[in-house]
Structure 1
Amino acid sequence: MIRLDNITKHNGQRLVFIEASAALQKGEKIGLVGPNGAGKTTLFRMITGQDEPDEGNILIDRGATIGFFSQDVGEMAGRSAVAEVMDGAGAVSEVAAELSALEAAMADPGQMDQLDSILERFGEVQARFEELGGYALDSRAREVLHGLGFSQEMMDGDVGRLSGGWKMRVALARILLMRPDVMLLDEPSNHLDLESLIWLEQFLAGYDGALLMTSHDRAFMNRVINKVIEIDGGSLTSFSGDYEFYEQQRAQNEKQQQAQFDRQQAALAKEISFIERFKARASHAAQVQSRVKKLEKIDRVEPPKRRQALSFDFPPAPRSGEDVVKLRGVNKRYGERIIYHDLDLLVRRRERCCILGVNGAGKSTLLKLVTGTTQPDAGTVTLGGSVKMGYFAQHAMDLLDESRTVFETLDDAFPLASQGSLRALAGSFGFSGDEVDKSCRVLSGGEKARLVMALMLFDPPNFLVLDEPTNHLDIATKEMLINALAQYEGTMLFVSHDRHFLSALSNRVLELTPDGIHQYDGGYSEYVARTGQEAPGLHA
């Protein structure tokens, strides 16, 4: 359906693609992977015609419809979420607009002399509208919005009043309702809760078009894709299978390439040693010349490209008391809505409690009560002895001083630390070399999240409270964080929609329900096995 044929592309002085080729066929669901800045967004822009390759061709099947979801959703205001979604439904929305105009024309006294021709056209357009499933469009749009977590009230309310994250969901719903021949989805899993993410997986599983997407959620990728295209060093490499298979295959390819490189280097060293030993001897001149020519003709094996591996080791945190936080008889409401009534909860040392619950169940509110950023209407919240808390809030990135650089931000927070230890800390979180001099103003969402993590973990607390810590983080940084937190000896209370993160780190589950907190010993994987559901809003 789409073929990239020997694409070469520069962004300014930087070479993004060099004679790169790949194809997307009908029915293929492809994950596009590669390090930040490799060119994933550039590739999407070229396929959609917003940009052109410097050399080579992008060939798209005649008549193929393409739907593109990106993080830049633009302005939305003045109509309902459901109307906004229906407007993006492709040909049927254009037919609906004409049908509406014809209805207005039939009621216009000034056009009575043309009524016969209007009625004739209305019949034709109405038949076409019915053929395209237009009369089911409203219910289909609501079904998609419901799957993405919208209440009926939100569907019918002004889309302009929604937050940026909810507007992203509206933009995604437009593409899903359209069901084009090809979907291009740039990070569709961002801003979705667990229930919506699982619904989207099921929707895409039933979609029979071609799909090309990026995602930082490895569980989501594994459930959806059947092929990977990797962008690295300007080239495109295809791997059949899911993300897990791609990782294994890539590691195996690297191992084989390293072995080939090592063998060739050993052979070259022997030849060079012979040449050096005998180049001054006339009796060996012919042999030396022969070996020099042989060396010149050899195709050199390149060593495998080494991705920068992030790693962070926790300094040991001070030990807390056995009871870390205790909530007794806590009530909390917002206006008429009761979030908690007579809530009791105890979190003990070294527990790693993940909080699950549908939208509005009070996950973030519970974290705010524990951290003291919100006060209970009644009851008590008590931290235990020697508890030193670190809190990663969803708005934490907005609190960074944009006039300061990465290094200055770390130096302001830890004035007694040496420059070397702060640079090592920055490097652990992906800010190497000159990147420590980047202003916070120009950092991406992922870079800001990494900086906030670095600030929180340098002088480690013994009680970590984390609200969606993996939002904006790429797969490599998530792996680093999981590996670091797996070694952490303190206590954790966290909310996340990333199932890999939940499975790897939790040893207790707190499920928020209308009739209180259901508690499960064992981690998220045990919760799924015991309940038969991956999230509270879903039932097997």
Structure 2
Amino acid sequence: MIRLDSIGKRHGKQILFVEASAAVNRGEKIGLVGPNGSGKTTLFRMITREEQPDEGQIAIDRGATVGYFRQDVGEMKGKSIVAETMDGVGPVSDIAAELAELEAALADPDRVDEMEELLERYGQAQAKWSELDGYALDARAREILAGLGFSNELMDKDVGTLSGGWKMRVALAKILLLRPDVLLLDEPTNHLDIESIIWLEGFLKSYEGALVITAHDRAFMNRICTKILEIDGGDLTTFTGNYDFYERQRQIAAEQAEAQYERQQAMLAKEMRFIERFKTHAAKAAQVQSRVKKLDKIEKMEPPKKSKRPPMFDFRAPPRSGEDVAKLEGVVKRYGSRTVYDGLDFLVRRRERWCVMGVNGAGKSTLLKIIAGELSPDVGGASLGASVKLGYFAQHAMDVLDPTLTVIGTLIHSFPEASLGTLRTLAGCFGFSGDDVEKSVRVLSGGEKARLVLARMLYDPPNFLVLDEPTNHLDITTKEMLVEALSNFEGTMLFVSHDRHFLAALSNRVLELTPEGVHKYGGGYLEYVATSGHEAPGLRR
């Protein structure tokens, strides 16, 4: 459906693609991978004709429709959420807007004199709505919105009242409702909870068109993608299989390339030694000349490119805490008329790693805030144990960074006695390499700020980590580094995450918050799935 033929593209001095070729065929589900800045978004923009390649061409089958979900959603206001979702899906969206306008007019007492005309127009619009199968479209829009976490009551409210993250969900719903021949999805799992991610997996598995997707969720990529398209050094390379298969094949290919290069280097060195040794020997002159000609004809291999994996940092061991790390006794917490907790008892013991599961509004962040001392219970008590040094990561933690400092300046300010080399290595672990350490905090993205906060927290680690969605906006490589660092962490953890790989790798206890009550599971996330029969509280098999 889409063919990229020998494309070249540069942005200023940065070369993104050099004679790169690939194809997207009908029904394929392709994961697009590559380091930050390698050109993933640029490739999407070239497919949608928002940018043009400098060389080569991109051909799209005649009549094929392309839908593109991007991170900047634009302005949304003045329509209900369901109407905004249907906006742009052919003429039926115009009729939906007209019906909404007429319904408001019919309910307006100041327009009672126009009632007969309004009723006639409303009847005509309803007839067109039925003719265009608008009721089915409305039902499909509501089904998609429900899958992405919207309640029935919320769907009819003004889209302008939503936060940026929820507007992203509306933008995603619009693309999914459109059902184009080719779906381009740029980080669709950002801002989604685990239930919505799992619903999206099911939707995309049954989607019959072609799909090209970027995501920082390993489990999601493994379940959806049957092919991986890698951008690396200006080239496009295709791997058949899911993300785990791609990683294994990439490692095998790298090892083979390294071995071939070393064999050729050894052969070249051997030949050069012979030439140097016998170049002045008349009896060996013919052999020397033969080997010189042979070396001239050999195509010299380039040294294999090393994958840019962040360096591992040797994090220091935290001080030992008492056996009882945190305790909640008879905690009651209400927001207005809504009761979040009604007599909650909860004990966290040393070396336990609790992940907290629950649907939106279940009180996951509230629990973490109460334990971290950011929020007081209405009734009951919350206390930390002896010798507990708590570190709390929340989304607002990024707001306390000084915008006037650079990345390295932030670390120097936090740890003035540490050597510059140590802090540069720490920054490199969290994705700030080379000149990136000189970037101002003011210009950092949300993900970069999160990485900086985590780096600062883990350099001098507390013995009790309370983490609220620490993996939001982190790429897969940085997540792997974080998982590896936290796997070796000797303290206690309590965390919320929608990343199933992160949950499975780090948890050894699960606290499930449901409307029916609080459930505790003695094993980690994988044991929770096996025991409960579902991957998240809002789902049932």
TM superposition score category, shorter chain reference: over 0.9
Equivalent residue runs for 1:247-326 within 5 Å: 247-310=247-310, 311-326=312-327
Between the aligned partners of 1:20 and 1:374, the Cα distance in structure 2 is 54
Cα 1:269–1:358 change in 2 (3 A) is same
Between the aligned partners of 2:91 and 2:5, the Cα distance in structure 1 is 30
Between the aligned partners of 2:132 and 2:55, the Cα distance in structure 1 is 39
Cα 1:350–1:17 change in 2 (3 A) is same
Between the aligned partners of 2:454 and 2:224, the Cα distance in structure 1 is 30
**1:148 maps to which residue?**
148
Cα 1:29–1:163 change in 2 (3 A) is same
**1:376 maps to which residue?**
377
Equivalent residue runs for 1:493-504 within 5 Å: 493-504=494-505
**2:27 maps to which residue?**
27
Between the aligned partners of 2:397 and 2:72, the Cα distance in structure 1 is 22
Displacement, 1:131? 6.6
Between the aligned partners of 2:101 and 2:166, the Cα distance in structure 1 is 31
**2:81 maps to which residue?**
81
Between the aligned partners of 1:66 and 1:98, the Cα distance in structure 2 is 27
**1:523 maps to which residue?**
524
2:504 is aligned with what amino acid?
A: S
Say if 2:83 and 2:97, in contact at 8 Å, map to a contact too. Answer: no
**1:390 maps to which residue?**
391
**Structure 1 residue 68 corresponds to structure 2 residue 81:** no
Between the aligned partners of 2:141 and 2:348, the Cα distance in structure 1 is 42
Between the aligned partners of 1:488 and 1:143, the Cα distance in structure 2 is 42
Cα 1:156–1:100 change in 2 (3 A) is closer
Q: Is the partner of 1:509 in helix, strand or coil? A: strand
Q: Is the partner of 2:395 in helix, strand or coil? A: coil
Displacement, 1:293? 2.3
**2:117 maps to which residue?**
none
Q: Is the partner of 1:229 in helix, strand or coil? A: strand
**1:242 maps to which residue?**
242
**1:193 maps to which residue?**
193
**2:40 maps to which residue?**
40
Between the aligned partners of 2:132 and 2:182, the Cα distance in structure 1 is 18
Between the aligned partners of 1:450 and 1:148, the Cα distance in structure 2 is 27
**Structure 1 residue 18 corresponds to structure 2 residue 18:** yes
Say if 1:343 and 1:516, in contact at 8 Å, map to a contact too. Answer: no
**1:115 maps to which residue?**
none
1:407 is aligned with what amino acid?
A: I
2:255 is aligned with what amino acid?
A: K
Between the aligned partners of 2:279 and 2:14, the Cα distance in structure 1 is 43
Equivalent residue runs for 1:94-493 within 5 Å: 133-310=133-310, 311-493=312-494
Say if 1:312 and 1:429, in contact at 8 Å, map to a contact too. Answer: no
Between the aligned partners of 1:269 and 1:443, the Cα distance in structure 2 is 48
Cα 1:435–1:245 change in 2 (3 A) is same
Deviations 1:53-110 (A, max 9, x none): 0011110011111110000111111111111101032464357669999999xx9x99
Cα 1:232–1:132 change in 2 (3 A) is farther
Q: Is the partner of 2:447 in helix, strand or coil? A: helix
Unaligned runs of 5+ in 2: 105-110, 115-120
Unaligned runs of 5+ in 1: 111-117
Displacement, 1:357? 0.3
Between the aligned partners of 2:5 and 2:198, the Cα distance in structure 1 is 35
Displacement, 1:341? 1.1
Say if 1:389 and 1:464, in contact at 8 Å, map to a contact too. Answer: yes
Say if 1:320 and 1:384, in contact at 8 Å, map to a contact too. Answer: yes
Displacement, 1:514? 2.0
Q: Is the partner of 1:416 in helix, strand or coil? A: coil
Greater alpha carbon shift after TM alignment, 501-510 vs 389-398: 389-398
Between the aligned partners of 2:158 and 2:96, the Cα distance in structure 1 is 21
Q: Is the partner of 1:395 in helix, strand or coil? A: helix
**Structure 1 residue 2 corresponds to structure 2 residue 5:** no
Say if 1:20 and 1:235, in contact at 8 Å, map to a contact too. Answer: yes
Cα 1:468–1:525 change in 2 (3 A) is same
Between the aligned partners of 1:166 and 1:299, the Cα distance in structure 2 is 55
Q: Is the partner of 2:535 in helix, strand or coil? A: coil
Give structure 1 regions of 4+ aligned residues with deviation exceeding 6 angstroms: 97-104
Identity of aligned residues (%): 68
Displacement, 1:306? 1.1
Q: Is the partner of 1:340 in helix, strand or coil? A: strand
Q: Give the superposed CA RMSD.
A: 2.3
2:498 is aligned with what amino acid?
A: H
Cα 1:102–1:54 change in 2 (3 A) is farther
Give the aligned length.
Answer: 527
Deviations 1:159-210 (A, max 9, x none): 1111111010000000011111110000001110000000000011111011
Greater alpha carbon shift after TM alignment, 257-266 vs 43-52: 257-266
Say if 1:85 and 1:171, in contact at 8 Å, map to a contact too. Answer: yes
Say if 1:512 and 1:518, in contact at 8 Å, map to a contact too. Answer: yes
Say if 1:88 and 1:175, in contact at 8 Å, map to a contact too. Answer: no
Displacement, 1:248? 1.0
Cα 1:142–1:242 change in 2 (3 A) is same
Between the aligned partners of 1:164 and 1:409, the Cα distance in structure 2 is 28
**1:114 maps to which residue?**
none
Between the aligned partners of 1:202 and 1:300, the Cα distance in structure 2 is 48
Between the aligned partners of 1:229 and 1:75, the Cα distance in structure 2 is 32
Between the aligned partners of 1:210 and 1:306, the Cα distance in structure 2 is 32
Cα 1:183–1:292 change in 2 (3 A) is same
2:170 is aligned with what amino acid?
A: V
Say if 1:331 and 1:343, in contact at 8 Å, map to a contact too. Answer: yes
Greater alpha carbon shift after TM alignment, 226-235 vs 410-419: 410-419
Q: Is the partner of 2:409 in helix, strand or coil? A: helix
Q: Is the partner of 2:377 in helix, strand or coil? A: coil
Between the aligned partners of 1:224 and 1:463, the Cα distance in structure 2 is 35
Between the aligned partners of 2:292 and 2:349, the Cα distance in structure 1 is 71
Cα 1:533–1:266 change in 2 (3 A) is same
Between the aligned partners of 2:101 and 2:151, the Cα distance in structure 1 is 30
Cα 1:211–1:126 change in 2 (3 A) is farther
Deviations 1:433-484 (A, max 9, x none): 3221111122222221111111100101000000001011000110111111
Cα 1:96–1:80 change in 2 (3 A) is closer
Between the aligned partners of 1:97 and 1:6, the Cα distance in structure 2 is 45
Q: Is the partner of 1:303 in helix, strand or coil? A: coil
Cα 1:346–1:99 change in 2 (3 A) is closer
Displacement, 1:7? 0.4
Say if 1:8 and 1:16, in contact at 8 Å, map to a contact too. Answer: yes
Displacement, 1:417? 1.8
Greater alpha carbon shift after TM alignment, 305-314 vs 398-407: 305-314
